Amino acid sequence: MNLISALAAALTLCGRHRTLIAAASIFIGLAVPPLAAAFRPHLGEAIVVMLTLAFLRVDPVELRRHWTQPGLIAAAMVWAMLILPAVLGMVFLASNSIKRCPVYISCSCCKCLH
Protein backbone atom coordinates (compact mmCIF):
# COMPACT_ATOMS: atom_id res chain seq x y z
CA MET A 1 0.00 0.00 0.00
CA ASN A 2 2.95 2.34 0.58
CA LEU A 3 3.98 2.08 -3.07
CA ILE A 4 0.51 3.02 -4.27
CA SER A 5 0.37 5.98 -1.88
CA ALA A 6 3.79 7.16 -3.04
CA LEU A 7 2.75 6.89 -6.72
CA ALA A 8 -0.49 8.76 -6.01
CA ALA A 9 1.44 11.50 -4.21
CA ALA A 10 3.92 11.77 -7.10
CA LEU A 11 1.11 12.01 -9.66
CA THR A 12 -0.66 14.64 -7.56
CA LEU A 13 2.54 16.67 -7.39
CA CYS A 14 3.05 16.34 -11.16
CA GLY A 15 -0.55 17.38 -11.73
CA ARG A 16 -0.14 20.48 -9.61
CA HIS A 17 3.02 21.56 -11.43
CA ARG A 18 2.22 20.21 -14.91
CA THR A 19 3.12 23.40 -16.81
CA LEU A 20 6.48 23.71 -15.08
CA ILE A 21 7.23 20.02 -15.64
CA ALA A 22 6.33 20.24 -19.34
CA ALA A 23 8.57 23.29 -19.83
CA ALA A 24 11.40 21.71 -17.86
CA SER A 25 11.23 18.53 -19.93
CA ILE A 26 11.63 20.54 -23.13
CA PHE A 27 14.63 22.45 -21.81
CA ILE A 28 16.22 19.30 -20.38
CA GLY A 29 15.78 17.59 -23.76
CA LEU A 30 17.46 20.53 -25.49
CA ALA A 31 20.26 20.71 -22.94
CA VAL A 32 21.00 16.97 -22.90
CA PRO A 33 20.52 15.60 -26.46
CA PRO A 34 21.60 12.02 -25.58
CA LEU A 35 18.87 11.88 -22.95
CA ALA A 36 16.32 13.16 -25.48
CA ALA A 37 17.50 10.55 -27.98
CA ALA A 38 17.15 7.81 -25.37
CA PHE A 39 13.52 8.78 -24.63
CA ARG A 40 12.53 9.43 -28.27
CA PRO A 41 11.34 5.84 -28.92
CA HIS A 42 8.89 6.16 -26.01
CA LEU A 43 7.37 9.48 -27.10
CA GLY A 44 4.29 7.88 -28.68
CA GLU A 45 3.49 5.86 -25.58
CA ALA A 46 3.98 8.92 -23.38
CA ILE A 47 1.51 10.92 -25.47
CA VAL A 48 -1.07 8.11 -25.31
CA VAL A 49 -0.68 7.88 -21.53
CA MET A 50 -1.02 11.65 -21.09
CA LEU A 51 -4.12 11.77 -23.29
CA THR A 52 -5.64 8.82 -21.45
CA LEU A 53 -5.06 10.51 -18.11
CA ALA A 54 -6.58 13.73 -19.48
CA PHE A 55 -9.67 11.84 -20.68
CA LEU A 56 -10.05 10.23 -17.26
CA ARG A 57 -10.73 13.70 -15.88
CA VAL A 58 -13.79 14.14 -18.12
CA ASP A 59 -17.08 14.38 -16.25
CA PRO A 60 -19.27 11.47 -17.46
CA VAL A 61 -22.54 13.37 -16.86
CA GLU A 62 -21.32 16.32 -18.92
CA LEU A 63 -20.09 13.97 -21.65
CA ARG A 64 -23.50 12.27 -21.79
CA ARG A 65 -25.15 15.68 -22.14
CA HIS A 66 -22.98 16.45 -25.17
CA TRP A 67 -23.88 13.13 -26.79
CA THR A 68 -27.51 14.25 -26.78
CA GLN A 69 -26.48 17.02 -29.20
CA PRO A 70 -24.87 15.10 -32.09
CA GLY A 71 -25.04 18.14 -34.37
CA LEU A 72 -22.61 20.03 -32.15
CA ILE A 73 -20.20 17.07 -32.09
CA ALA A 74 -20.41 16.68 -35.89
CA ALA A 75 -19.85 20.40 -36.43
CA ALA A 76 -16.81 20.42 -34.16
CA MET A 77 -15.41 17.36 -35.91
CA VAL A 78 -15.93 18.83 -39.40
CA TRP A 79 -14.33 22.11 -38.29
CA ALA A 80 -11.29 20.48 -36.66
CA MET A 81 -10.66 17.74 -39.23
CA LEU A 82 -11.70 19.32 -42.54
CA ILE A 83 -12.28 23.06 -42.62
CA LEU A 84 -9.40 24.29 -40.44
CA PRO A 85 -6.69 22.16 -42.14
CA ALA A 86 -8.03 23.09 -45.60
CA VAL A 87 -8.07 26.82 -44.79
CA LEU A 88 -4.60 26.71 -43.24
CA GLY A 89 -3.30 24.70 -46.20
CA MET A 90 -4.66 27.28 -48.63
CA VAL A 91 -3.15 30.13 -46.59
CA PHE A 92 0.27 28.47 -46.53
CA LEU A 93 0.00 27.58 -50.22
CA ALA A 94 -1.02 31.13 -51.17
CA SER A 95 1.83 32.62 -49.17
CA ASN A 96 4.38 30.25 -50.78
CA SER A 97 5.38 28.88 -47.39
CA ILE A 98 3.90 25.40 -47.75
CA LYS A 99 7.10 23.84 -46.38
CA ARG A 100 6.34 25.49 -43.02
CA CYS A 101 2.72 24.29 -42.91
CA PRO A 102 2.13 22.00 -39.89
CA VAL A 103 0.08 19.56 -41.99
CA TYR A 104 2.82 19.37 -44.63
CA ILE A 105 5.48 18.89 -41.96
CA SER A 106 3.56 16.11 -40.21
CA CYS A 107 2.81 14.38 -43.52
CA SER A 108 6.40 14.65 -44.70
CA CYS A 109 7.60 13.27 -41.38
CA CYS A 110 5.54 10.13 -41.92
CA LYS A 111 6.61 9.94 -45.58
CA CYS A 112 3.07 10.50 -46.91
CA LEU A 113 4.20 13.13 -49.42
CA HIS A 114 7.36 11.41 -50.68
Q: 65 and 111, same structural domain?
A: yes
Prediction pTM value: 0.43
Q: Is a pLDDT exceeding 80 seen at residue 104?
A: no
The pLDDT assigned to 108 comes to: 52
Q: 113 and 79, same structural domain?
A: yes
Quick one: pLDDT band at residue 105, thresholds 50, 70, 90? Answer: low
Helix (H, G, I), strand (E, B) or coil at 7: helix
114: containing domain: 60-114
Tally the C-alpha atoms within 13 A of residue 19's C-alpha that lie toward its C-beta: 0
- Give Cβ neighbours of residue 104 (< 8 Å, ≥ 6 apart): 89, 92, 98, 113
Q: 31 and 66, same structural domain?
A: no
- Tell me the average pLDDT of the chain: 79
Q: 43 and 24, same structural domain?
A: yes
The rounded distance, in Å, linking the Cα atoms of 96 and 22 is 33
The rounded distance, in Å, linking the Cα atoms of 21 and 87 is 34
- What are the DSSP E strand ranges found in 1-114? none
The pLDDT assigned to 102 comes to: 62
Domain count, the chain: 2
The rounded distance, in Å, linking the Cα atoms of 35 and 33 is 5
Which amino acid, one-letter code, is at 72? L
Report, as an integer, the average pLDDT of 3-26.
85
